Amino acid sequence: MHPIIARAQLSPNVTRLVVEAPRIAEIRRPGQFVIVRRGPGAERIPLTIADVDRVAGTISLVIQAIGASTHELTSLQVGDAITDIAGPLGKPTELLESGHAVCVGGGVGTAVVYPIAQALAANGVKVTSVIGGRSKEWVIYEEELRASGEVIVCTDDGSYGRPGFVTEALKELCEAGGIDEVFAVGPVPMMRACSELTRPYAIKTTVSLNSIMIDGTGMCGGCRVAIDGKTQYACCDGPEFDGHKVDFRMLADRLNTYREFEQVALERWTAAHAEAH
């Protein structure tokens, strides 16, 4: 069992849980993730490890409530516990040792680029973070990222920071030059747009793929993705890949495979939750 030590609401549908997991906290590296199971028979959910405290033996999980299982996880309170947390899984981020990196985070993806930005800054790399949200209340990890370098905030409605999408700010940075690598994490359309934007500038672009995962070890094949025309598995070959080689259309199609089932499950969970309260 993994007790929840702290809980914070970061945006209307994004929650951070700080959970006891000392063995994972000890060896986790930026870019890696865990697979969480709320209890016996529950769905297995892949979640990035946003932060660790090795002294306290805790890890921070940032969860966006979309389906029934993620709603169940984000409804947990301090003192509750998660039955199973497997990890750390996946390959760690290949970090620059010098130069200038731009970390682009869209929505909950900002929590994924946060540990990457931390590690890059620790290496002495200049870090510029570009993060976005629908409006101010949807922007997360702004202050945490400022500890690693400049932060450019974009909001769709212009209510905070600069108006517009993160890609518009990224384009300006690319035009200014001097970027050695871009790390982009967020919705598939955003990562695809960032990858296409950097291609003409020949800027290496790394994306973290949020494909469907089940076992997290490569055995089930559920997380397969097409990279440069070849099949790879996000859980063990990734989750990070060269954005210029990812077949984003295939990834988007696979992510939509279970949308109808997920909607039905969410409706059932919502009804059961309403009855219980």
Q: What is the mean pLDDT of the chain?
A: 88
Confidence (pLDDT) at 118: 94
77 and 146 co-located in one domain:
no
Same domain, 117 and 166: yes
Half-sphere exposure of 67 (CA within 13 A, CB side): 15
In a domain? residue 268: no
Q: How far is the C-alpha of 47 from the C-alpha of 41, rounded, in Å? A: 18
% the chain with pLDDT above 90: 60
The answer to whether residues 30 and 130 belong to one domain is: no
> Could you tell me if 117 and 193 lie in one domain?
yes
In the prediction, which pLDDT does 249 show?
87
Domain boundary among 165, 189, 208: 208
Residue 139: band (very low, low, confident or very high) from pLDDT cuts 50, 70, 90: very high
Half-sphere exposure of 26 (CA within 13 A, CB side): 3
Phi-psi domain of 218 (left: phi exceeds 0; alpha: psi -120 through 50; beta: other): left
One domain for residues 110 and 32? no
Question: Do 204 and 108 fall into the same domain?
Answer: yes
Q: Are residues 112 and 78 both part of a single domain?
A: no
Q: Are 126 and 100 in contact (CB under 8 A)?
A: yes
Give the CATH number, domain containing residue 12: 2.40.30.10
- The band of 138, judged by pLDDT with boundaries at 50, 70 and 90, is very high
> What tens digit of pLDDT does each residue of 147-156 get?
999 999 999 8
Average pLDDT score over residue span 49-54? 92
Q: Containing domain of residue 158, as a range?
A: 100-208
The CA-atom distances, in angstroms, between 119 and each of 31, 32, 106 are 10, 13, 19
User: For residue 114, what pLDDT is reported?
Assistant: 94
Q: What phi, psi does 122 have (nearest 5°)?
A: -65, -25
Whether residue 80 is predicted with pLDDT greater than 90 in this model: the reply is yes
Q: How far apart are the two ends of the chain, measured CA to CA in Å?
A: 26
Residue 1 has pLDDT above 90, yes or no: no
On whether residue 229 sits in a domain, the answer given is: no
User: How many Cα atoms sit within 13 Å of 102 on the Cβ side?
Assistant: 27
Cα separation of 174 and 166, whole Å?
Answer: 12
pLDDT of 209-267, one tens digit each?
876 766 677 777 777 888 999 998 888 888 899 999 999 888 887 666 656 656 655 55
Q: What percent of the chain is predicted at pLDDT more than 70?
A: 90
Are 176 and 122 contained in the same domain? yes
DSSP letter, residue 94? -
pLDDT of residue 206: 95
The answer to whether position 269 is within a domain reads no
Is residue 56 helix, strand or coil?
A: coil
Q: What is the pLDDT of residue 70?
A: 86
- Structural domain count, the chain: 2
Based on the domain organization, do 197 and 128 belong to the same domain?
yes
Is the same domain home to 24 and 57? yes
Residue 76 and residue 131 share a domain? no
Of 55, 89, 123, the position where a domain reaches its end is 89
Angle between helices 188-198 and 248-255 (to 10 degrees): 180
The amino acid occupying position 271 is A
Residue 156 lies in a domain: yes
State which of 158, 188, 208 marks the end of a domain.
208
Q: Is the pLDDT of residue 166 over 90?
A: yes
20 lies in the same domain as 54: yes
* DSSP state letters, 206-252: EEE-----SSSSSSS-TTEEEETTEEEETTTT-SEEETTTB-HHHHH
